[in-house]
A and B are shown apart, each in its own frame.
Chain A
Amino acid sequence: MGIGTFGSFTQARLAIYASQTGLTVTGNNISNVNTKGYTRQRLDLRSLHSSGADRYYSSTDVRVGQGVLCTGVSQLRDPYLDIRYRSKMAEVGAMDVKLGGLEGIAQVLDEVGKGEIPQGKDFGIVAAQFEKVYEALKGITDQTGHSEYDVQIRSACEALAKQLNAYAAGLQELYDNTVSSYEKDVTEVNTILKNIRSLNESIREANIYGDNALELRDERNNLIDQLSEYMKINVDYTTEEIGLGVTVEKLIISLGNANPDASIHTDTSVLIDGIYGAQFSINPVLNPAAYQYVDEFGGLTNDPHKAAKVPERNPDSLLDPADPDYDGTNLWMDKDGNPTDVEADANLVLKQNDDFVEADFKDGLLYLKANGAKTASFDEAAHDSNFGLTISELRDARGRLDNIIQKFQEQLATEAEYQASGGKAVTVTDPVTGMISVTTFRKEVQPAVRRNSDWNGEYQYVTPGGRGTNDPAKAAQIPVMNPARDPDAENSEDNPWYMDAGTPPAPTSVLADAQKVPQENENWDPDDPNCYRYFEADGTTPTNDIDAARYSKVTYYKQLYTKSPSHPVTLDDNDLLGALQSERELLTECGEFSQKDTITGRGPTSDENAASKRGIQYYQKTLDLLANQFATQFNMANQGVLTDPDGNLVTQVWDAGKKKMVSGLVTIPPEGGAGSYQLSKKDMLSNREWDMSKVPAGAKQWLVDNGYKTDDGDADMMAYLKADHKLLDTDGNVVDGADIGEKAGDVMVRNAFIGGNLFSNNGDSDSDKDPPVTASNISISYEWSKGPMIVNSFTCPPGEFIPASTDSENILENMTSLFYKKLEYRPDTLTDGARSDSMFSGTFEEMWINIGTTLGDDMKTTTTLLDNYYEESISLDTSRDAVSGVDFNDEAMNLMMYAKSYNAACRLMTTIDSVLEKLINNTGVIT
């Protein structure tokens, strides 16, 4: 069928239209060259060709295409490059945020190039201040006893304390700002997710009406790119049937399987499922009284399915091994409610939360505010210290819940299961999770024959050809012989050889009348089971009847489908990789200060690499540890008991004979008696420590009874020595000053303990405990702030009760030495549950430099990684642009191409017009 007379006009018109559309698409590409995320578009053309042939089609005619059709506009995009780019952007985001946080820490702690510049050198601030303390100590070793040198040390220490306070405040401010930033970014991620969900809905709607919605896709790609900086994601494009055989595209975004622990699957949680989307929330602090159960990780839950299961205890048994009546028997209850000794036999019950209060649960007071008050409002709740995240259930824009349908692999079922179901589908709805499980059953019947594997190959019958057979029909047929015949005589009526087929059989001499039976194999023994080829269907009775041996093999199958409403997912510690996780790690990771359980345990907060991840808290805790070590060491160095040059305790006791105080022995109890103890040099571990194992029980009891005890209630000799002992005369009156020596008492002892805390946790107190000294609270003690109190020496010359006025032994040996001594820094000093071995060994200054070096190393590594990742991301983005980006040369070519084709189409129309003019107006006209 050829084209109609005016069909060529249509052909030209389509060509003009295609060229013009091509110019429009090119124009659109040029216009959007600077539009972020724009994907270049291409006009899809198809040749118009009418197919089919008619019966009377002339074989001499030719088929010609009828022009060009614009079938659509498509985007040029490489999904694989998108995946690689987004994966890289997660790493860029992670390193970028981490580096930003570390730079914030460095702004506080990095002292390179900072500080005063004496002698042309910048010595740092805290680093220089440590040296100023050292220098001031040097001064006092030379000018011992002059209070102005004590003041110089105090001033240097005060400046150091203030500087540490300022650094701690700086880190706390950074921490608080990072919390705000983290909250803001979670909100930003939620906004992105909402927008993607909204765009999905618009694209879906456009798809239904046949529109590709390319610009919306660009916008969505931009958002997905943004999301990929916050977290590693997987993006899948699937199709969704919407009925009538129509399918539209469905976008699924899930977390990118970032958790190195392969047994954890929350790192693939779905964020976007078409028109359904999830939202992130920071885990709140839970009200421990509002939760009934404890899960296997020690977390709180009201979901019995998540509760840990523990063996049921026998309520009548004694549970405390310390109880004298505890016999360790029948500790458990078995499944039948009977007591048992065997824990493995015990009934498993849900682990109850001991703090549970039903009223709180009923009132819905599930959370705690920052001030510890209970609240039912999630928004009012304080953030959990781990800043963990929960992904909400998937909902569409109108709040409808997404359901996830899963089809599991078909499994074998038992006949009983099949029979119980009656072959119909069984539907079960979980009342807690709302998950609907549908199990369908089917059976398959297969014919089979039970063969005898021991068959000896002998058949029951013999065929006419002499072969074996078990089929009597195929066997040779032989007459039934008359048992009464005379075989030696001829067959005759008188001596008939055969028996006929009558009932009962009668002898006959006519072979044709004789009854015929199959010829049996002589070797076949009916009593030998091995002569049978099969077993009957019962599997035990031998037979040669194949029909009897036939049975039916039935197999049952079951198929599980679940339809579960989308539910919230609490993310594991390492489920995310990207900016959000880095921000969270800046807030939570504390390196060597991590809880031992976090490093070795399992659960939402476990992370075997936690010890090497260092966020703001690490630097806060390290700074605290340094401040605490400094205060503790100096406080220890500045107090102790006086000794003589031989190391004997210098106590002042009244010598009635000499009528003066002399250095003498002290007995506890002072009145002596059985179990008393005489204080001795050999039991002194140092000027500050007493070997209490050498003190007899009676003396210890006296110490405790008189209030000289530790916080744990144990006897404390140093407390006794520290106490302010009054001197009493014979009448029990206190004597002091000039009166001493004039009156003699029975018990006159003056304490040998001198000194006290130089540093405290508050400028108004002298205490360095409860709370312990940290970088944020380290202060000069109240006592020191009032006046000099540095102990120059604990050694008194022989017979003296005070050290020599300029003796600086203590300063040199116990204070100056602190600037040379390698001190051990143990994380559990200030952080309960952290490791107890040393994280660093060095002087104060070395510890301080170590903080800077650790930070510098971390920053350098992060910078290098960020540079690499960023460069790779730029390279990938350029590669994406190589596919999707607009290029002026390309578009110029398109302009030329479409302009030329436009011109040609116009020429075509002119030509056709011209020839038709000839045909219509000038053909057949005779002039």
Chain B
Amino acid sequence: MIPRTTTVGSLKTYRYNLQRSAHTMEKSQTTVTTGRTFNSFADDPTTAARSFQLRRAYLRTSSQYDLNESVVRKYEVAYGAMESVSKTVDTDEESVGSAYYAILRAQNAATASGRNALGQELTAHANDLVQTINGRYGDNFVFAGADGLNVPFTWEAKQNPAYDPDFDPDNPPDPTNPPSKAEIAQKTSRYLKQDGTVTNYASEAGRVLCYRGIPVDTSDPDELKKLDYYSNSEKKYVDIGLGYDMNGGKVESSSVYDIAMQGVNFLGGYGTETKTTTIPDPNNPDGTIEVSFTLPRNIVTITERMGAILQNCSSNSGTFASDMEEAEFDLLAEQFEEASARIKDKHINLTTQAQFLKTNQQQLKTNADSINEQIEAIDYVDPAAAISDFIFAKYSYDTALKVGNSILAQSLMDYLSF
């Protein structure tokens, strides 16, 4: 039996189909006008989630790119500073204007009358080195490790280790044995002058190079511990897209990048070394005597000390103030060469790091482009396909309208004639 098709039924079915056709056309139209393959989570939940994941990856990569760029700039500033430092401490004999050139001249000059001037030049070099290494990138000191807000290297007044703030000359600890004037001066003076005498005036005091408040040529174990920490352990990691990961509550060091540049490492180091040499001694049968010197490792304090020795030379003859000072100068020259070598290593290392950062920068850009392409692929429609779909949907809709126009046109009613 053929199902009965009625006028009312046909109208309802037509109305439903027309609605569907209009809906399909509207969807196609939205796709064409927005250019998106989906416009809500409900359209395609899985792809929408994937799309947001890709967008997150894109934003993260962009943010890592920006950070990497900032780090690259910082390294460029650091590299520039180290270029200047390297020139100053260059041990090439032909390097005119370098500190080493001045040292050689002081050592080998036929006439030594210029040693005072050379001493001043070395002192100036020491100052220059400190100024250079204290440079900033933006608001931060580049070579301050993780303490970028504070100037890393400072010249501090030389403290008098015998100073006792509680010492009262009028009430000595042992009244039966009153202190001498010299003892009183020692205990009541805060500073030491450059020549080792005491003073209470900071302006008269000698100067000590400090890194983040710690004298770089200290031999105090507590202070050395701090410098060891700064030099070897203190890190300032940033996430520049190396696969940030945590391990046991700590960030995995290989997944981040350490941007803490410790100035003390870039100026030859810190602490002291003891070296031994011989100096003339007429009292000994062989005419010499062995003497030891505690020598700084930091190139600034080396240079500073050498400058002081040269300035201590006779202004007339240029001879060293003593055999001890001459011997110390020679040993300091060796120290200078060794420190210079360490600085060159650091400079080369810095170059390598800067190169890595630039490569990483390129990689991040490539990654961002790749993610962008993926987003384009899953989020956005092929215009040709979208327009074709729309045209087809519109064709269907137009056809449906055409059908509607004639659906009620013909029935037996129209042929009745009485």
Do A and B pair up? The answer is yes
For residue B70, which residues in chain A have a CB less than 8 angstroms away from its CB?
Answer: 142
Q: Say yes or no: A135-B55 contact (C-beta < 8 A), given A645-B233, A889-B411.
A: no
Q: C-beta contact mask, A253-265 vs B, less than 8 Å → 1, else 0?
A: 0000000000000
- Knowing A686-B249, A820-B246, A881-B12, the reply to whether A807 touches B39 (Cβ < 8 A) is no
Query: Which A residues touch B233, using CB under 8 A?
Result: 645
Contact B412 A893 (CB under 8 A): yes
Given the known inter-chain contacts A806-B236, A820-B246, A892-B413, please indicate yes or no for A886 contacting B7, CB distance below 8 A.
yes
User: What residues on B are CB-neighbors of A112 within 8 Å?
Assistant: 38-41, 43, 48, 51
The answer to whether A143 touches B138, judged by C-beta atoms less than 8 angstroms apart, is yes
Task: State in angstroms the CA–CA spacing of A162 and B184 once bound together.
Answer: 68
Q: Does A828 contact B (CB under 8 A)?
A: no
- Give the distance to chain A from B163, nearest Cβ to Cβ, in Å: 12
Does A306 count as interface, using CB distance less than 8 angstroms?
no
Q: Which residues of chain B (220-254) have a CB below 8 Å from chain A? A: 222, 225-226, 229-230, 233-239, 244-246, 249-251
Point out the residues of chain B lying under 8 angstroms from A887, CB to CB. Answer: 4-9
Give every chain A residue within 8 A of B7 (Cβ-Cβ): 33, 885-889
Shortest beta-carbon distance, A565 to chain B, in Å? 44
Which stretch (B80-88, B97-105, B140-148, B339-347) binds chain A?
B140-148
Considering only residues 130-188 of chain A, those with a C-beta below 8 Å from chain B are 131, 134-135, 138-139, 141-146
Residues of B within 8 A of A790 (CB): none
Which residues of the partner chain B approach A889 to less than 8 Å between Cβ atoms?
A: 7, 411-413
Segment among A120-128, A219-227, A405-413, A607-615 that sits at the interface with chain B: A120-128
A112-B38, A806-B149, A887-B7 known; A812 and B238 CB under 8 Å?
A: yes
CB distance from A895 to the nearest CB of B (A): 6
> Is A670 engaged at the interface, CB distance under 8 Å to the other chain?
no
B226 touches A797 (CB 8 A): yes
A686 partner residues in chain B, CB cutoff 8 A = 249
Q: For residues 305 through 340 of chain B, which have their beta carbon under 8 Å from a beta carbon of chain A?
A: none
Q: Using Cβ atoms and an 8 Å threshold, which residues of chain A touch B62?
A: 119
**A692 contacts B by Cβ under 8 Å:** no
B230 to chain A, nearest CB (A): 7
Q: Is the CB of B41 within 8 A of A106?
A: yes
Chain A hits for B236, CB < 8 A:
144, 806-809
Are B5 and A882 touching (Cβ within 8 A)? Answer: yes
Question: Are B375 and A121 in contact (CB-based, < 8 A)?
Answer: yes
Map CB proximity to A onto B48-87 as digits: 1 under 8 Å, 0 otherwise.
1101110110111011101100110000000000000000
Interface centre among A797, A808, A871, A889 (most CB of B within 10 A): A797
Assembly CA distance A793 to B42 (angstroms)? 43
Q: Is B3 an interface residue (CB 8 A)?
A: yes
* A residues in contact with B39, CB < 8 Å: 112-113
- Is the pair B251, A812 in contact by a Cβ cutoff of 8 Å? yes
A141 cross-chain contacts in B, Cβ below 8 A: 67, 237-239
A110 touches B40 (CB 8 A): yes
Please tell me if the beta carbons of B55 and A797 are within 8 angstroms of each other in the complex: no
Given contacts A817-B246, A881-B12, contact A812 B41 (CB under 8 A): no
Chain B CB within 8 A of A682 CB: no
Known: A807-B147, A853-B41. A797 touches B12 (CB 8 A): no
- Judged by a CB distance under 8 angstroms, whether A805 is at the interface is yes
Measured CB to CB, the closest approach of chain A to B411, in angstroms, equals: 4
Contact B13 A874, beta carbon cutoff 8 Å = yes
Taking a contact as CB atoms under 8 Å apart, the answer to whether A882 and B9 are in contact is yes
* A807 contacts across to B, CB distance below 8 A: 146-147, 234, 236
Minimum CB–CB distance for A868 against chain B, Å: 13
Q: Which of A102, A113, A659, A886 contacts B6 (CB 8 A)?
A: A886
Contact A127 B56 (CB under 8 A): yes
| Nearest CB in chain A to that of B238: its residue | A141
Interface string of B19-52 (1 = CB under 8 A from A): 0000000000000001010111111111011011
B225 touches A798 (CB 8 A): yes
Complex: chain B residue closest to A856, CB-CB: B41
CA distance A797 to B43 in the complex (A): 55
B295 on interface, CB distance cutoff 8 Å: no
Which residues of chain B are near A850, meaning CB under 8 Å?
49
For the residues of A in contact with B, the DSSP-based class is helix
Any chain A CB within 8 A of the CB of B256?
A: yes
| Known A138-B64, A142-B67, A882-B6; contact A813-B251, beta-carbon cutoff 8 A | yes
* A893 vs B256: C-alpha distance when bound (angstroms): 88
Which residue from chain B places its CB closest to the CB of A857 in the assembled complex?
A: B45
Task: Give A877 to B15 CA distance when docked, in angstroms.
Answer: 13
User: Given the complex, which residues of A lie within 8 Å of B148, measured CB to CB?
Assistant: 144-145, 805-806
Query: With A112-B48, A845-B52 as given contacts, are A804 and B234 in contact (CB-CB < 8 Å)?
Result: yes
Selected from A110, A128, A895, the residue in CB contact (under 8 A) with B41 is A110
Q: Could you say which of B34, B41, B147 contacts A806, with CB atoms under 8 Å apart?
A: B147
CB distance A852 to B48 under 8 Å? yes
Query: Are the C-beta atoms of A131 and B146 separated by less than 8 Å?
Result: no
Known: A645-B233, A853-B45. A881 touches B246 (CB 8 A): no
B67 touches A853 (CB 8 A): no
Interface size of B as a range: 35 or more
Query: Using Cβ atoms and an 8 Å threshold, which residues of chain B touch A645?
Result: 229, 233-234
| A806 and B40 contacting across the interface, CB-CB below 8 Å | no
**Within the assembled complex, what's the spacing in Å between the Cα atoms of A371 and B371?**
54
Contacting pair B256 A145 (CB below 8 A):
no
Q: Are A813 and B246 in contact (CB under 8 A)?
A: yes
In the complex the two chains form, is A797's CB within 8 Å of B144's CB? Answer: no
How far, in angstroms, from A509 to B230 measured CA to CA in the complex?
159
Contact A813 B250 (CB under 8 A): yes
Contact indicator A135/B48 (Cβ below 8 Å) = no
Given A812-B239, A878-B13, A138 and B6 touching (CB < 8 A)? no
Give Cα A883 to B1, complex, Å.
Answer: 13
Chain A residues with Cβ below 8 Å from B45 are 852-853, 856-857, 860
**Closest Cβ of chain B: how far from A451's Cβ, in Å?**
65
| A888 to B235 CA separation, bound complex (whole angstroms) | 90
Residues 791-805 of A contacting B (Cβ, < 8 Å): 793, 797-800, 803-805
Give complex CA distance A113, B226 in Å: 54
B contact residues around A655 at 8 Å (CB) = none
- How many angstroms from the CA of A141 to the CA of B229 in the assembled complex? 20
Give CA–CA (A146, B137) in the complex, Å.
13
Interface code A888-927, partner B: CB below 8 Å = 1, 0 otherwise? 1111110110010000000000000000000000000000
Q: How far is the CB of A796 from chain B (nearest CB, A)?
A: 10
Q: Does B16 touch A at the CB level, under 8 Å?
A: yes
Any A CB within 8 A of the CB of B150 = yes
Q: How far is the CA of A845 from the CA of B55 in the complex (A)?
A: 11
Cβ-based interface call for A283 (8 A): no
Q: A131-B59, A845-B56 are in contact. Are A856 and B16 (CB under 8 A)?
A: no
Q: Which residues of B contact A203 (CB under 8 A)?
A: none
B412 and A888 form a contact (CB under 8 A): yes
Residue in A closest to B13 when the chains form the complex, CB atoms: A878
Which of B9, B46, B229 is the one whose CB lies under 8 Å from A798? B229
A820 to B245, CA, bound (A): 8
Bound Cα distance A817, B256 (Å): 12
Per the bound structure, the CA–CA distance linking A899 and B411 in Å amounts to: 18
- A residues 843-868 touching B (CB-CB < 8 Å): 845, 849-850, 852-853, 855-857, 859-860, 863
Beyond the given pairs A808-B238, A856-B48, A871-B16, 17 more chain A to chain B contacts, judged by CB atoms under 8 angstroms and listed by A's residue number, are: A33-B8, A112-B43, A113-B34, A124-B52, A134-B59, A135-B63, A138-B63, A138-B64, A138-B67, A645-B233, A803-B146, A804-B146, A806-B146, A849-B52, A852-B45, A856-B42, A886-B7
Residues of A participating in the B interface, judged by any CB pair closer than 8 Å: 33, 102, 106, 110, 112-113, 119, 121, 123-124, 127-128, 131, 134-135, 138-139, 141-146, 645, 659, 686, 793, 797-800, 803-809, 812-813, 816-817, 820-821, 845, 849-850, 852-853, 855-857, 859-860, 863, 871, 874, 877-879, 881-883, 885-893, 895-896, 899
Give me the 8 closest cross-chain CB pairs, A-B, nearest first: A856-B41, A856-B45, A885-B8, A881-B9, A859-B42, A806-B148, A892-B412, A805-B149
User: Could you list some 10 contacts between A and B, CB below 8 A?
Assistant: A113-B39, A121-B58, A127-B55, A141-B67, A686-B249, A807-B236, A813-B251, A853-B48, A878-B13, A887-B5
